[in-house]
Structures are given as C-alpha cells and as structure tokens.
Structure 1
C-alpha cells in the first residue's frame, strides 16, 4: 500500500499515517487514535498555529476586500456590517479545520515530537 501525502490527508481531515481514518472526533478535537490504522493521534498538538494562519489569511482577504469596496463604491457602514461580518466568520470557520489538519500532518511528516529526549 502506498503511503499517502500527509499534508493532503491533513487538508482533508484524514489520518496523516494511512490517509483514510478520521483526524478529528469533533469540529476541532483531535481523535485519540485513527479508527482505520490505530495510529496514536493523542500527542498531536498544533497549538495556536492554525488560529494565527487563519487570522492572517482571513484578515488579508476580508480587510483588503472591504477597503477596495469602500474606496470604489463608498457604501454606507451598514453595508460593510451586513456583508463583511458574515464573510469574515465564514472564512475564519471554513479555514480553521483544514489548517489545523495541515499543521498536525506537518508534524507527522517532519516527525516532530513535543517531548524529545536527546
């Protein structure tokens, strides 16, 4: 059996070891182990990395778009609130899970360990 690309598996919220099992047991809660291959996922921790990337990406996309709309069309403030608050929420929530999966898979691919005993 060919080993899957761990980063693509993480992007799809799949186990970075086998590419088939679920990586998450909830929306953002990492499963204790892969339900297909039994790989231990309990020690995987992405920390604040996904949130930082989401803030940077969503902030750039939404703020740039909002500034462009403001400069080009000068709409009233309520248009910004009605359009860009939901847009920002959708982009942030939509990016959080895939980015967390990618960062967890990157730890797997690079054989990172929280507690190394060198």
Structure 2
C-alpha cells in the first residue's frame, strides 16, 4: 500500500502532464503513448510501462471542446465587431479554425489525461507497486 507522500514523490504530476501533452510515455518521456491518432498503446515501447489501464473515455473530447469554445467564442465576437465581415466568410473561416484547433488539441489532451491517471495511480496504474 502506498501513501500519499510516496505517490507524490515517485510520480510527480507536472512532469507527467508535460510528457503526456507531448504525447510521450508519462514514465520515461521517450516512448510514444499513442499508436495512431488517438489509440493508446498497451505499453511503452521504451520502458515497457503498462498503459492499458487508462480510462480517458470522453474526458479529452469534453476538455478539448471547452478549450476551443472558450478561445473561438470571444475571437468570433471580436472579429465580427472589429471588421464586420460577411457572415458566410466569418463562419467559413472560424469553422476551419475550430476544426484545425480541435484536431491539434485532442491527441495532446488525451496524452495528458493518460499521464494524469498514471501519476495519480488511477484505474490500476500502480496496482503492482
């Protein structure tokens, strides 16, 4: 049984989150955590840390939508007030930007979710320790 002090000392949160954001293994930071666009590997190919315990589910999608919405909403309002473009042009540009931002953010947020779970020993991560 691990104590909270041991959990915080041997699996620090912020380095794990940074590694996950970079789509790297939260343990070693060298191996890729994702196989393909969003599929999490069974284990790290470098350090062999088991990653199959992860339960990200819909969390990364919700957080990505939250981030994109909070950036694009005010930007859309600002662009409309500032330049008064034709609504069709405005919708076209911001739709493409929102999709591009979502596609860029989603795998990074998923990597950070896996890293958070690994760092906090959630869902079976660390059960063998």
TM over 0.5: yes
TM-superposed CA distance for 1:70, in Å, is 1.2
Report if aligned partners of 2:28, 2:47 keep a CA contact under 8 Å in 1: yes
Name structure 1 gaps, 5 residues minimum. Answer: none
Partner Cα distance (1:7, 1:103) in 2: 8
Q: Hey, what does 2:94 align to over in structure 1?
A: 84
Q: Hey, what does 2:113 align to over in structure 1?
A: 103
Segments of 4+ moved more than 4 angstroms: none
1:20-59 equivalences under 5 Å are 20-59=30-69
- Measured against aligned partners, the alpha-carbon deviations of 1:27-47 in whole angstroms (never above 9, x if no partner) come to 000011110111111121211
Query: Structure 2-normalised TM-score?
Result: 0.81
TM-superposed CA distance for 1:49, in Å, is 1.1
CA RMSD of aligned residues (A): 2.0
Report if aligned partners of 2:55, 2:123 keep a CA contact under 8 Å in 1: no
Partner Cα distance (1:113, 1:46) in 2: 10
- Measured against aligned partners, the alpha-carbon deviations of 1:39-69 in whole angstroms (never above 9, x if no partner) come to 1111212111111111111011111111111
Name structure 2 gaps, 5 residues minimum. Answer: 1-10, 125-129
Query: Structure 1-normalised TM-score?
Result: 0.88
Q: Hey, what does 2:26 align to over in structure 1?
A: 16
TM-superposed CA distance for 1:77, in Å, is 1.2
